[in-house]
Each structure stands twice: as structure tokens, then as C-alpha cells.
Copies of this chain bind each other. A is one copy, B any other.
Amino acid sequence: MSANTFGHLFRVTTFGESHGPAIGGVIDGCPAGLPIDLAFIASEMRRRKPGQSSITTPRVEDDEVEILSGVFEGRSTGTPIGFLIKNKDQKSSDYDALKDVFRPGHADFTYNAKYGIRDHRGSGRASARETAARVFAGAIAKLYLLQKGISVSAYVHSVHEIAIEKPLETLDLSLTEQSIVRCPDAETADKMIALIEKMRDEGDSVGGTIVCVCKGVPAGLGEPVFDKLHAQLGHAILSINAVKGFEIGDGFASTLRKGSENNDSIRNGIASNHDGGIQGGISNGKDIIFKAALKPVSTISKQQTTTDIVGNTISLEAKGRHDPCVLPRAVPIVEAMAALVIMDNYLLNKVQKETI
């Protein structure tokens, strides 16, 4: 069991609560000799950090990463990379009233059921702040994958009922970062932003879907049975806060097609990609494409009725500073988790075929 560790050959272990002194972790298994580009890492951290635009939480956190080991003279040494991200802008008093209350949709009740004790401040370990550590680890993985010609790019495909209607092939993913909502289609992005602002003003929240495209993944990555590549990706993506659904390739839509319509052929050049780049659990060299569904974030300012720890009915109005829609900030997290999976399988694949 590896609750707070992810990966097999390239492994990240994380720790930290949102209102403790710091979060952080350890990356173990990074090959020695990889140039560690600090500017790239910082830019990835900025994509996830709070307060980055008018449609995210107004909390201010720099999310600066301190690397404590495993890097020497600009390169990885093969030894574990310890890292810290200090917590700075906590307002723990915001949470005093919540000490004994189970907020609807949150992990308050379930943590209490499991452990009998919890750090209630800012959702404690269940806070999405934990994902900052994932983005750092994902940045290291991306640096490795870039050297191999592999890129991982996600974007917001839909927010509530507003969805990109153009086909993926027609989108220019290099435009994603130009939009504060991280939607590469400008027209759709504007509508998404307007909706999120409306939700913010109403004290409500909305979810949506994120699509991720991995280009340059060679054929042959993944495992045949329990660890099919898309099963690993699904595990990774479903482990992100608020994610409630995962599809590889056409996913649920493929159930509405016949075999004769859905089968991807292997003919070079012409082939379809209903399977999303993975067949029999192993990459086939085409783009790996998957989609994640994120529910509306549970923290809202509207009044809600819930229960406290002794069973009293409670009327609750959240005071914390929260995101009306987490999707823009979830884009780099989705990319990070995908990068971790692909790097891990890239390394593994190096030892599975005898070349003598």
C-alpha cells in the first residue's frame, strides 16, 4: 500500500497539510544526470498557484519550491530529491467554526470515520494544496520526457454546459496558456469566464471537463494486464481532488458505436484513434488522449445544512477563500499526473525486451 507514494521506478512521496508549516515530498528514482531547469519548474508552479487571476481564489501563495537534495551542480544525482513548499497565507481562524462540523461534499466526515482525528484547518491533508507537490514532481518528469520528444498538454474542454464544439484536431493547444480559464478556443473561453464570474458572485461553484493530449509517446509503453497504461492514467487522474470520471479515447461515446465503426486500424497515415493511443493496455504510437470530469468544488458561500460531530443539524456558510471553478488551476495538475505515469512506464519499458 502506497497511500502517499505514486509510481514504481520514478516515485513521488508527498506530505503536508494546508495549514501546517510546509508541504513537500521526496522524488526517488530520477535518473542521474538530468539537467534540472529551475525556471521551467517555477513556471509550472505558477500555473497552479492561487491568486493567479480574477477567477481563482484570492489567496496569495508564491508556491516557491526549495530543493533540499538530489541535485548537484544543476543535474540530478540519482539520489532522492527532497523538496519543500512553505505555507504562507493561511488564515487558520477562518476554520475555527468548522472544527466539529462536517461540510457537505468534503472529506471532513470520512477522515473522521477513518482516523478519529483530523487537522480541520483548511481541509488539512484533504486540501488541494497537496497537489502543489504533484506539480513539482510532474515538472521533473516533463523535463525528462521533453528530452525524449514527449509532450503532455491539457486544457479545459468544458465548464458546466459550456463546451468547446470544434474537433480536437482543429484546436491550437499553444493558445491554452493565453486564456485565464486555460481553454484554447477564445470564444468558448470568454463564455466560460463569464459563467465562472457569475458563480463567484452568487457564491456557488461549477465543474467541467479537462482533455489531455500526450504527443510523441513511443509504441510499447504500458503493461498488459492489471497495469494497463490507461488504468494507470485513470488511477492517476482519479486521484486528483474533485475528479469523478475518466475516459480514454472515445470512452463512453465508444459504447454508441459498432465494432466495425470503432476499430482502429494500424494503417499508417489514415488510421482513426478511437482508442486514444492505447490498445491492450499498451501505447500504439498515436497521441494518447483522455478526458477527466471534475465535479463543482464543494466549498461554496451559499448557506447549506449539514451535521456536526455529535449529530446536531447545522446551518453552514463557508468563510474560506475558494475557487468558484477549479478547472483552470487543475490543468497543470492533470498534466503532472499524466507525466508521472508516462515517465514511469518509459523507464520500465527499457528493461522489458532483451536485445541480444
Would B102 and A204 count as touching, CB distance under 8 A?
no
Would A106 and B234 count as touching, CB distance under 8 A?
no
Checking B219, B254, B302 against A260 with a beta-carbon cut-off of 8 angstroms, the contacting residue is B302
- Known A124-B79, A262-B105; contact A33-B115, beta-carbon cutoff 8 A: yes
Would B247 and A245 count as touching, CB distance under 8 A?
yes
State whether the Cβ of A246 lies closer than 8 Å to any Cβ in chain B.
Answer: yes
- Known A32-B352, A115-B78, A281-B107; contact A14-B245, beta-carbon cutoff 8 A: no
Would B251 and A293 count as touching, CB distance under 8 A?
yes
CA distance A247 to B261 in the complex (A): 24
Checking B225, B248, B355, B356 against A244 with a beta-carbon cut-off of 8 angstroms, the contacting residue is B248
CA distance A84 to B22 in the complex (A): 11
State whether the Cβ of A295 lies closer than 8 Å to any Cβ in chain B.
Answer: yes
- Known A20-B69, A110-B282, A300-B260; contact A295-B255, beta-carbon cutoff 8 A: yes
State whether the Cβ of A113 lies closer than 8 Å to any Cβ in chain B.
Answer: yes
State whether the Cβ of A151 lies closer than 8 Å to any Cβ in chain B.
Answer: no
Would B224 and A126 count as touching, CB distance under 8 A?
yes
- What per-residue 1/0 map shows which CB atoms of A199-216 lie under 8 Å from chain B? 100001111110000000
CA distance A328 to B166 in the complex (A): 36
CA distance A116 to B77 in the complex (A): 8
Would B259 and A249 count as touching, CB distance under 8 A?
no
CA distance A244 to B161 in the complex (A): 23
CA distance A264 to B236 in the complex (A): 24
Would A20 and B297 count as touching, CB distance under 8 A?
no
With both beta carbons as reference points, the residue of chain B lying nearest to A300 in the complex is identified as: B259
State whether the Cβ of A70 lies closer than 8 Å to any Cβ in chain B.
Answer: yes
CA distance A115 to B307 in the complex (A): 42
The residue among A160, A255, A297 with the most chain B CB atoms within 10 A of its own CB is A255
Among the stretches A49-57, A176-184, A265-273, the one at the interface with B is A265-273
CA distance A196 to B239 in the complex (A): 36
Would A298 and B130 count as touching, CB distance under 8 A?
no
A285 shortest CB reach to chain B, Å:
7
CA distance A318 to B205 in the complex (A): 51
CA distance A200 to B81 in the complex (A): 35
Would B235 and A69 count as touching, CB distance under 8 A?
no
- Known A206-B258, A302-B260; contact A282-B102, beta-carbon cutoff 8 A: no
A255 shortest CB reach to chain B, Å:
4
A23 shortest CB reach to chain B, Å:
7
CA distance A241 to B230 in the complex (A): 11
Would B1 and A26 count as touching, CB distance under 8 A?
no
Would A254 and B107 count as touching, CB distance under 8 A?
no
With both beta carbons as reference points, the residue of chain B lying nearest to A249 in the complex is identified as: B244
With both beta carbons as reference points, the residue of chain B lying nearest to A22 in the complex is identified as: B68
CA distance A73 to B115 in the complex (A): 14
CA distance A254 to B206 in the complex (A): 9
The residue among A23, A110, A260 with the most chain B CB atoms within 10 A of its own CB is A110
